[in-house]
Amino acid sequence: MDGIINIYKEKGFTSHDVVAKARGILRQKKIGHTGTLDPDATGVLPICIGEATKIVPYLSDANKTYEAEVILGAYTTTEDASGEVVEEFSVEVSNEQVLDVLATFVGAYEQTPPMYSAIKINGQRLYELARQNIVIDRPSRMVEILELEQMSPLKDGRFKIRVVCSKGTYVRTLCTDIGRKLKCGAHMGELTRTRVGEFDIEQSVTLKQLEKLNAEEILISIEKMFEQYPAVVVDQSYNKFLYNGNPLEVKIAAAGLFFRVYDYMNHFIGLYKWSGEKLIVEKMFYKEGK
Strands 74-76 and 231-233, sheet pairing: unpaired
**Residue 159: φ, ψ to 5°:** -160, 165
Give the whole-angstrom CA distance, residue 271 versus residue 250.
15
Distances (CA, A) of 221 to 6, 24, 233, 253: 12, 21, 18, 25
Residue in 87, 79, 72 with CA at minimum distance from that of residue 155:
72
Other residues' Cβ atoms within 10 Å of the Cβ of residue 180: 13
Catalytic annotation on 2? no
Q: Which residues pair with 6 in a beta bridge?
A: 46
Helices 171-182/95-103 angle, 10° precision: 120
- Assess contact for 55 and 225: CB atoms under 8 A: yes
Exactly one of 2, 38, 80, 263 is catalytic; name it.
38
- Assess contact for 204 and 44: CB atoms under 8 A: yes
**Catalytic residue numbers, as ranges:** 38
